[in-house]
Homo-oligomer: A and B are copies of this chain.
Amino acid sequence: MQVPEQWELGILRKYNREQARDIINELLVEIFNKILAIEGQNLKDKGIKLSMNEVHVLEAISLTDERTMSNVSKRLGITIGSLTTSINTLYQKGYVSRERDLEDRRKVVVGLLPKAEAVLEEHDAFHEEMIDSIFEEMELDKDELLIESLEKLSSYFKK
């Protein structure tokens, strides 16, 4: 016997594919802007005179193993030229070091100065706090399945 499609959907599944899609869409796109805004406000409150963009450059440097201009720009998804201007001002403001690689003198290796490390610590602490408060509100840490799925989602975008 054939069961009407609506039945199956109604009884067996609360969320349909379209709803799920909307939620993920929203999460991935709209929410992010809010986080950026909150982070920016946090920097201001702490008296840090850097844009979120500049903080992300510092973050990218800290997460990159071989810290050449190419590698960092690749991680950020911007051209090397764009990164050059960014590094110019960060160097000027005393956040990063910058020197030629002695092995391959075409390369420029950037590094984080103490001032930058301090900013990144602030930034990390803020992120941890934010996510912890999400956990608390949602009791997420009990939710094995969610974490597992998020990990899959995360790895999907890495490829």
Chain A interface mostly: helix
Chain B residues with CB under 8 Å of A103's CB are none
Number of copies: 2
Q: Which residue of B lies closest to A33 (CB)?
A: B77
Near B by CB (< 8 A), chain A positions 126-159 give 127-128, 131-132, 134-135, 137-138, 140-141, 143-154, 156-157
Chain B residues with CB under 8 Å of A37's CB are 77
User: Do A31 and B154 have beta carbons less than 8 Å apart?
Assistant: yes
Chain B residues with CB under 8 Å of A17's CB are 132, 135, 141
User: Do A143 and B149 have beta carbons less than 8 Å apart?
Assistant: yes
Report the count of interface residues on A (CB-CB < 8 A).
48
User: Do B146 and A146 have beta carbons less than 8 Å apart?
Assistant: yes
| A102 sits at the interface (CB 8 A) | no
| A23 sits at the interface (CB 8 A) | yes
| Residue from B16, B35, B150 within 8 A of A157 (CB atoms) | B35
